[in-house]
Structure 1
Amino acid sequence: MSNAYFKVPLPKNEPVFSYEPESVEKDQIKKKLKELKEQKIEIPLIIGGKEIRTGNIRECIIPHDKGHVLATYHIAGEKEIEMAIDAALKAKREWQNMPWPHRAAIFLKAAELLSGPWRYTLNAATMLGQSKTVYQAEIDSACELIDFLRFNVYYMTQIYNEQVDSTTEAWNRMEYRPLDGFVLAVTPFNFTAIGANLPTAPVMAGNVALWKPASTAIYSGYYVMKLLQEAGLPDGIINFIPGSGSMVGDKVFSNEDFAGIHFTGSTKVFKDIWKMIANNLEKYKAYPRIVGETGGKDFIFAHHSADIDVLVTALVRGAFEYQGQKCSAASRAYIPKSMWKRVKEKLIEEIKTIKMGDVEDFRNFMSAVIDQNAFNKIKSYIDYAQNSKDAEIICGGKCDDEKGFFIQPTVIQSKDPNFKAMTEEIFGPVLTIYVYEDEKIEETIKLCDESTPYALTGAIIANNREAIVKMEKQLSCAAGNFYINDKPTGAVVGQQPFGGARASGTNDKAGSKLNLIRWMNPRVIKENFNPPQNYTYSFMEEK
């Protein structure tokens, strides 16, 4: 027991390396890419700290070079899922009783390791396994993950320091316990940082977790697990179980000790999970915490006062960085007719300069989409637009999956603001634009707000302050992260906590203490220094 209050270091956002020609970091990442490509690893389950091999094998491939196998990985079955639950619950008591500074130290050490010797390993694994350019990997698997680890520890201590008022007669105290049971983390392919944050945020608060990564991000996820083990994470606190979502869900959501889910993925899957939890509610020891970030149909809305260069840059970066595979990617835009001709010319001119290919060629701005299923889905939207009388492809549109899953940056102009590509989530490098009559801006803003079920991110581009004030208010429920004169992507931990509402999730804001509090179970303790010794009250003395 410690007789002191401890303060963790005040976090600062991790500096982003530039990887300029002839820089040390460029030399280091090139070496690590070569090293990882020259070996083929076997990825086991990690349950209770032990490596488990089931013999049910799948492959991790490079999306932009689909014939290259980076690793084989084992799939969890029902037996292994039950083992993971048992291992987590067995480790829980000692973990939750560990003094919080020691729990915090593990994640601060992991952040420091990632800032140093592990940086190039995680970045290279993300570049190869998820087809991210070096810059997109750097801001994700290095900087954002480091920020999540450091800032979440800091937020945890801020919550612990929040205490209730007391009197001279009674001392009131608040403690923040972990949840009663285990947490399931279901993580996506598109951000290594999210993959790591979803299990680590709950466990640093004293919980234990099962981690089911997306099948297309198991490669980087495995290296995250090895990083956490090197930082000193005890066995059984996070159990790494790649496997079928339905099988994991069946076993986890029927277990009485299920305490919560931390999820990022599709809206449909999240709704199905919520229904399963509701159907099993009578089985649980406590009401589970349900935290999820799901789909988006993110917008850019331009006012006629917008700077065209600012607008076009926001469109290109917002829609096509990481092949549009961000929950926050700009997928629809509303442009006034009075400026459309100039915007169209500039936009097409810029897109024609975009280079696409292997992430190891640093001249490339884009690479491949994640897998064959994603390629087929995105292509179907392009094909639909090509065959529609209500839309025209004004740029891109070509798809090629011979070597890798490559889709050109594509711009569709739609005559119909409710066109399929304007309202449905595509999750690829496809931007659909609706050109509106300047005098119909009010009804077009209403369309922007109401034409999709999502409310994740959005941006307005304008220089007229009155217009900015008005649009900010009119679109107040349309996006959980709202940007003015910027692209709707690139949220930074501690600066723009991330999350949306409506069909985009529970808006528990990853990258803030609002998320951390969801993994805590507060208890108030009152100690009475002058307890009553008789049950009667003075009002009862009436004659």
Structure 2
Amino acid sequence: MNINGEWVGGELDTKDVVNPANGKTVGTVPNGGEAEAEQAITAAHEAFGPWSELTAYERAGYLKKLHQLMLDNQEELAQIMTLEMGKPINESRGEVNYAASFIEWFAEEGKRIYGETIPAHVQGKRLQVWKKPVGVVAAITPWNFPVAMLTRKMGPALAAGCTFMMKPSGDSPLTAVKLMELCEKAGFPKGVINLVTGSSSKITKAIMENKKVRKITFTGSTEVGKLLIKQSADQVKRLSLELGGHAPLIVLDDANLETAVKGVMASKFRNAGQTCICANRIYVQSGVYDAFVEKFSEAVEQLKVGDGEDESVDIGPLINQAGLDKVNSHVEDAVTKGAAVVTGGEAITDDGGVFFQPTVIKDVDPSMVMMQEETFGPVAPIQKIETIDEAVSFANDTPYGLAAYVFTENVSKGTQLIEQLNFGIVGWNDGAPSAAQVPFGGMKESGIGREGGHEGIEAFVESQYVSIGMN
């Protein structure tokens, strides 16, 4: 761990980090708890004053150094990521670039935190709005994007003048350790960035009870997000929550099927289907249903499953046995209720790994668990629909509202369809909509706030209204 510029925790018990491709331990991290979290919070609090007083240009200088260091160390970051959570190496390299883009974007966006001058309602006054950094920020991040989820939070927090404490997932903490090394090389002052690993419950308890933490930013499950909302109430801590999804993907009769298949492949099978915005429910209009299933299945059958360190692999392992068991149960439930497996459908557990074949299932219906719950695996269920109204009804019938996808060549149909979808992100003929310069976040139970774009930095500043009497 790194607290107040020092590498600490060597005296603590450790937690093993296991490669899900082969079950082998690839490293250990200290099993920190409340005491270490308190130390990190104190360090961040003490560093906040000097850091927030720097100009936006000075803070941008540090971030630009970090951005370049991330690019210079892309391969090592990617290799660590693949070793600890199984992501195919080419995807890991892509994630490092994606993660670095947030640091670059917010280095510049910090220079554009504008206040306001408002026309006064009486003579002799000047009305202004100042923007001030929130304070100490604690980030809790998931295992599936171990560096991008950190930089999407770190970039805007630091650019706005906040100080930062990160708590990565216990399943993939080693990437965060390497990122912390790069922050150290970039020269950030002591205490501005702190890294704590270990017990999620104990560290979160310290974060929630310490009044010095003014902002929590979390990516993870809706269940945990709801718990954080309850825990934050006592101190009215500010929250940014990017929570669960259950993304629908709609293919209309007039869609370009090659575009649609390419889009579904990009969305569904990235990170073995273990992403919060991947297509989980595919609705295809009856006029192209059979043709789409055939073309899509042919593409899926070409995917190679294996250890992510192999350059030719497309689908890596699931994160752990529990993840594999969930995927298995969803597939078994669908088949029992009448769905048909077109390709795949089986677990692969050779050599200690936890893999599942890339799978296409047709003739699914809303009674099946996979159409109601996020599978989080490489399984693509397809349901036949007749009308656009039916597509909208099925798509919106969920408590989640993170991402949705629409494939149609008709601008009028696409526009009207998307206007009715209750999702924070929509890909129209696009299976990969994420970027640093756009707002990322969901409606309904998929979260609070947006990350990325100019909205992403607003979450880390407070508006202070100042009324000045001019005597």
- The alignment's TM-score, normalised by the length of structure 1, stands at 0.82
Match of 2:299 in 1: 350
Match of 2:6 in 1: 50
C-alpha distance in 2 between matches for 1:163 and 1:118? 40
C-alpha distance in 1 between matches for 2:416 and 2:428? 12
- 2:429 pairs with 1:491: no
**Counterpart contact for 1:458–1:482, Cα < 8 Å:** yes
Match of 2:395 in 1: 448
C-alpha distance in 1 between matches for 2:366 and 2:331? 17
Of the candidates 514, 517, 521, which is equivalent to residue 462 of structure 2? Answer: 521
Listed one character per residue, the Cα deviations across residues 373-414 of structure 1 (whole Å, up to 9, x for unaligned) are 22222222123223x223222221111233212111112224
C-alpha distance in 2 between matches for 1:258 and 1:195? 17
**Counterpart contact for 2:30–2:197, Cα < 8 Å:** yes
SS at match of 1:66: coil
Unaligned runs of at least 5 residues, structure 1: 1-44, 532-543
User: What letter matches 1:485 in structure 2?
Assistant: N
Match of 1:125 in 2: 80
CA deviation after TM superposition for structure 1 residue 306, in Å: 1.2
CA deviation after TM superposition for structure 1 residue 228, in Å: 0.8
C-alpha distance in 2 between matches for 1:162 and 1:153? 18
Of the candidates 425, 437, 448, which is equivalent to residue 481 of structure 1? Answer: 425
Match of 1:504 in 2: 446
Match of 1:407 in 2: 356
C-alpha distance in 2 between matches for 1:240 and 1:504? 27
Match of 2:224 in 1: 269
- 2:130 pairs with 1:175: yes
Listed one character per residue, the Cα deviations across residues 133-157 of structure 1 (whole Å, up to 9, x for unaligned) are 233122211x212210111122221
Listed one character per residue, the Cα deviations across residues 76-131 of structure 1 (whole Å, up to 9, x for unaligned) are 1222122222222222222222333222211111112222x222222222222222
**Counterpart contact for 1:189–1:195, Cα < 8 Å:** no
C-alpha distance in 1 between matches for 2:70 and 2:37? 29
CA deviation after TM superposition for structure 1 residue 327, in Å: 1.0
C-alpha distance in 1 between matches for 2:373 and 2:209? 32
**Counterpart contact for 1:199–1:262, Cα < 8 Å:** no
Match of 1:309 in 2: 258
C-alpha distance in 2 between matches for 1:454 and 1:375? 23
CA deviation after TM superposition for structure 1 residue 332, in Å: 0.8
Match of 2:68 in 1: 112
SS at match of 2:434: coil
SS at match of 1:362: coil
CA deviation after TM superposition for structure 1 residue 187, in Å: 0.5
**Counterpart contact for 1:127–1:137, Cα < 8 Å:** yes
C-alpha distance in 2 between matches for 1:465 and 1:513? 28
- 2:207 pairs with 1:252: yes
Listed one character per residue, the Cα deviations across residues 443-487 of structure 1 (whole Å, up to 9, x for unaligned) are 33212112x111111111112233223212222x2x211111121
SS at match of 2:307: coil
SS at match of 2:194: strand
C-alpha distance in 1 between matches for 2:272 and 2:223? 22
Where do 1:258-297 residues align within 5 Å?
Answer: 258-278=213-233, 281=234, 284=235, 287-297=236-246
Of the structure 1 ranges 195-204 and 350-359, higher mean CA displacement relative to structure 2 is found in: 195-204
User: What letter matches 1:194 in structure 2?
Assistant: M
Aligned residues: 466
Where do 1:389-400 residues align within 5 Å?
Answer: 389-400=337-348
**Larger C-alpha radius of gyration, 1 or 2?**
1
C-alpha distance in 1 between matches for 2:191 and 2:366? 51
CA deviation after TM superposition for structure 1 residue 240, in Å: 0.8
Match of 1:151 in 2: 105
Listed one character per residue, the Cα deviations across residues 286-305 of structure 1 (whole Å, up to 9, x for unaligned) are x3211010111111101111
**Counterpart contact for 2:245–2:400, Cα < 8 Å:** yes
SS at match of 1:215: coil
C-alpha distance in 2 between matches for 1:66 and 1:490? 33
C-alpha distance in 2 between matches for 1:56 and 1:384? 41
- 2:180 pairs with 1:236: no
Match of 2:323 in 1: 374
C-alpha distance in 1 between matches for 2:434 and 2:356? 25
Listed one character per residue, the Cα deviations across residues 408-434 of structure 1 (whole Å, up to 9, x for unaligned) are 111222442242111211111111111
**Counterpart contact for 2:405–2:429, Cα < 8 Å:** yes
- 2:163 pairs with 1:208: yes
Match of 1:430 in 2: 379
CA deviation after TM superposition for structure 1 residue 361, in Å: 2.2
- In the superposition, relative to structure 1, how do residues 171 and 466 fare at CA in structure 2: closer, same or farther (>3 Å)? closer
C-alpha distance in 1 between matches for 2:412 and 2:211? 54
User: What letter matches 2:222 in structure 1?
Assistant: T
SS at match of 2:309: coil
- 2:151 pairs with 1:196: yes
Match of 2:116 in 1: 163
SS at match of 1:217: coil
SS at match of 1:470: helix
Of the candidates 74, 85, 91, which is equivalent to residue 41 of structure 2? Answer: 85
Aligned-pair Cα RMSD in Å: 2.0
Unaligned runs of at least 5 residues, structure 2: none
Identical counterparts, % of pairs: 26
C-alpha distance in 1 between matches for 2:127 and 2:373? 51
C-alpha distance in 1 between matches for 2:241 and 2:252? 33
Of the candidates 409, 413, 416, which is equivalent to residue 463 of structure 1? Answer: 409
**Counterpart contact for 2:107–2:155, Cα < 8 Å:** no
